[in-house]
Amino acid sequence: VFIERDLPFLRQFDTKVIVNICGSTVADYLEVVERLSGQEIDMLEANISCPNVEHGGIAFGQEPGMVEYITKEIKKKAAQPVSMKLTPNVTDITEIAKAAEAGGADALSLINTITGMRIDVKKRAFCVANKTGGLSGPAIKPVALRMVWQTCRAVNIPVIGMGGIQTAEDAL
């Protein structure tokens, strides 16, 4: 549906088209990359905050070795430049960023959502079915700014700020 309906719609505007991809296995990512390889897309953004079901559910983006590996595999198949979207739910964002750069990433996007939780105190129950969920927006801007700053100092590829970073002024 995306290729037939959404991509032509997006292409009618004078803007860059960056497509976010995700998966539960490396094969999932590669299948999506292959499907998009012949499309008029300016950049792929690989969301590696997804749980890796083949390795106990840890997010692809939480282990440097896996980050480098999945980046290399995506880059082998991608016809477009690739930005790796990094999770903030790590001990050292610079190690993850360096791994993505070593894997051949053209850019980095960060930060994705911070794991959060909401509880209905009257019902004494979780408000989200999964118990935890992603927190983004202005609440995480200070964390995003720190991680973008750290990453910019650690790598030599472009860094796209997000996760509360909404304007050029936010990033400066």
Known catalytic residues are 50
Please name which of 154, 38, 52, 157 lies closest in space to residue 93, comparing C-alpha atoms: 154
